[in-house]
Amino acid sequence: MGKSEDSPMRAMAQRALSEIGAVFARVTGDTYVRICSELLQAHRIACYGVGREGLMMKAFCMRLMHLGLDAHVAGDMTTPPLGKGDLLFASAGPGSFSTVQALLGVARDAGARTMVVTAQPAGRAAQVADTVIQLPAQTMADDRGSAGVLPMGSLYEAVQLVFFDLVSILLRDKTGQTPDEMRSRHTNLE
């Protein structure tokens, strides 16, 4: 790309970063406290999401494992059952997904706590969750007619990635770990 072609891309990148920053400006400190509290209280954690949100939940689950927490991705063959003292952490950015609703019911029936991260706190998933983490970003539920540069649910998903890494840093500090301790749990099978 020549210099003249870089300029529109730089402008789009700045707009995207501005959109992400605007979401973080609306996330309260209490949000970080609540998510850390739920995660640290859980004996076992199962993370779940669909589509690109599911990828962000898998990325966060990996960070939880790096922290030494008993964290699993719901749906993997090696995910153990949830029960009392455990936590299902699911993503439902636009408010609800049929699989999220079903898993919330299964976890609740087994005695586990439930936590939902969403952009739509009045959505069906949030209504049945024990804890709701709101990331007030555009999703597929409200992207039509948007002036934002990031398409469909990309803003929500980008915010999830950064938010979850910030939470992992807070959890690292709360558990008294070092970055090297987290790194020591990273897979060597890559």
Alpha carbon distance 103, 82 (integer Å): 11
Q: Chain centroid to CA 112: how far?
A: 19
Sheet bearing 45-48, strands edge to edge: 71-73, 45-48, 87-91, 113-118, 131-134
Catalytic residue among 5, 157, 181, 190: 157
Residue 38 designated active-site:
no
Containing 87, the helix (H) or strand (E) segment is strand 87-91
Residue carrying structure tokens 């299902």:
88
Whole-angstrom distance, CA of residue 63 vs CA of residue 167: 9
Just list the catalytic residues. Answer: 157
